[in-house]
Amino acid sequence: MQAFNGYFQLGNYPCRSAQLVGIIVGVQEQEKRTVYTMDDGTGVIECIRRHNLVSDDGPGMGDTAKCAGRIVETPWNERRLEADSIETLRDPTEEPRHWLQVSELHRTLYHQPFVMPSLPREVSTPKRAKGLCDVPTTDSSVADRSEASSPLKSSLALRHPSKLRSKQLTAETFLVYMKACLMVACEGSAVPESKSFEDPLATPTRAPAYDQDATPKAYVVPSSPSRYVPRYGGRATGKCVARTAMHAEPSGMAVSSLRRVEPLSILARRIVKAEARRRGKQHDAGEKAGSDQLKSSKSKRDNEAQKAKRLFSWALRKLRQEGSIVLGVMPARALVDVDINLSSLWKSQALDGGSILSSATSVDLSHGSNSPPLSPPLINEETYLPVTPSLLSLHVLEAFKHCMRKKGKKKGVSASDILSRMKLDERWEYLGVWHIDETLQCLEGEERVCQMGGEEWALI
């Protein structure tokens, strides 16, 4: 079979996956995968099965097995089979029946003219009305809205800052809420997935002429499971790279915007007061009277506002040093344009014991009458973005390409090599190797990279 950019020509038909039946002549156990050497009568090929696919034991030496998966060509011109499934066959007639079936396919199908199959039409599902996001909800509608919340709801459920207990009011708690708020805010400002992106590894091509008189057609997403369903795990295929072109990077959040998010502002003030009580710096009520008491109350509010501001700055600096956030390259959005839906972060009424009054959290420009006014935003204020695989994917691919040019195409690239290359930019100075590993796993699910022997990776 001739290879063409990940596909193989089998007669007149393009081939990407294969099903083999043969005898296992070798088994090699590794940390993350098992390599089976299979002899199907025409040759010997390695079948790689990852340990997270199935929990039971695979075939042993001398067993007849059936393996189905994707054909992968290594940089040294060898072919392997990335197994989607492998099972032991107990019937001794399975292998000769498989030979007869393959012979029949070669005779009746593979050498016939190839006909492009028609793509099934995408069935559109009705969307929920958006009016629920702007209307205060009652107790009866909380259960309905909890089912339609964002994906963060299932993995992260926080108590509303106004309902936290005194022992939970710590700086570490503020870090968790700050990071969750940045995740929701920056994911909401991302460019829609349907917009095009520039692939740094693609060959430049001439753009087709645009016909203004042509009738626009709706784009139909192909539904072939072998190409568009993640192979390992539940990752969303295609979202990793499509969201991270440099011109499509979401706008980050600045300190001035975060300080005006009401839940974070409430939490910061409560933490400052709780810390003051712990240290015994809060004066007893009624100690001073008259104008001295009013003056002391005003100065105390100003002092609390300054400490809350320092808490925001400390949290952003701490999150950046631990590699959870990075500096953004896009300018910050105007305060009036910031509208964050944080309802997916809070626990439901049944778990939290309270009612949810609103599903949207807008920036509070007035900041209340009892609190001192906030300082205006600075010009060219720094913005911050959470570190996610969707943010890193294109940068990882660019560093991957540079490392391959430096080491040679026949040699793999490790996550440490990619990290060393990316850390030449001070934006990624606090990035960890676990971020690169997570991004590579995401790109592997999109079939853009594949893992070689050991800790090295190769482009597909």
Q: What is the DSSP string of 387-403?
A: --HHHHHHHHHHHHHHH
User: Would you tell me how many other CB atoms lie within 10 Å of the CB of residue 262?
Assistant: 18
Report pLDDT for 317. 92
Is the pLDDT at 283 greater than 80, yes or no? no
In terms of pLDDT, which residue wins out, 347 or 393?
A: 393
Domains of the chain: 2-110 (2.40.50.140), 155-189+251-281+293-385 (no CATH), 388-459 (1.10.10)
Mean pLDDT check: name the lowest of 36-50, 102-116, 203-217: 203-217
Q: Cα–Cα distance between 168 and 433 in angstroms, integer? A: 31
Q: What is the pLDDT of residue 369?
A: 43
Mean pLDDT of the chain: 71
In this predicted structure, the answer to whether residue 428 has a pLDDT above a threshold of 90 is: yes
pLDDT in tens, 239-272: 565 554 444 677 788 888 888 888 888 999 999 9
C-beta neighbour count of 253 within 10 angstroms: 26
Asked whether residue 131 carries a pLDDT value surpassing 50, the answer given is: no
332-378 pLDDT tens trace: 665 544 456 666 677 654 444 444 334 444 444 444 445 555 555 56
Residues present in the chain in total: 460
Of all helices (H) and strands (E), which one includes residue 87?
strand 79-88
Percent of the chain with pLDDT over 90: 17
How many CB atoms sit inside 10 A of residue 37's CB? 16
Higher-confidence position of 240 and 88: 88
In terms of average pLDDT, the best of 150-164, 190-204, 428-442 is 428-442
CA atoms within 13 A on the CB side of 409: 6
Confidence of residue 111 (pLDDT cuts 50, 70, 90): confident
Q: Is 377 exposed, middle or buried (0-12, 13-18, 19+ CB in 10 A)?
A: middle
Q: What is the pLDDT of residues 173-229, one digit of tens each?
A: 999 998 888 888 777 555 444 343 444 444 444 444 444 444 444 444 334 333 333
pLDDT number for residue 73: 79
Highest mean pLDDT range out of 151-160, 261-270, 287-296? 261-270
Higher-confidence residue: 159 or 378? 159
Residue at 260: amino acid letter: R
Q: Which residue has the higher pLDDT, 291 or 109?
A: 109
Contact 445, 235 (CB under 8 A): yes
pTM over 0.75: no
Question: What would the two tokens of residue 13 be?
Answer: 């038909």
Of residues 154 and 414, the one with the higher pLDDT is 414
Compare 30 and 2 and report the one with higher pLDDT.
30
User: Which of the pair, 129 or 260, is modelled with greater confidence?
Assistant: 260
Please check whether residue 450 is in contact with residue 62, taking contact to mean a CB–CB distance below 8 angstroms.
Answer: no
Question: Which residue has better confidence, 420 or 53?
Answer: 420
Residue 322 has pLDDT above 70, yes or no: yes
At residue 356, the pLDDT reads 39
Higher pLDDT pick, 399 / 130: 399
Residue found under tokens 């940045």? 182
- Quote the tokens at residue 85: 């499934």
Question: To the nearest 10°, the Cα dihedral for 244, 247, 251, 252?
Answer: 60
Residue with tokens 């040679």: 408
Tell me the residue type at 356: I
Beta strands across the sheet bearing 449-451: 413-414, 456-459, 449-451
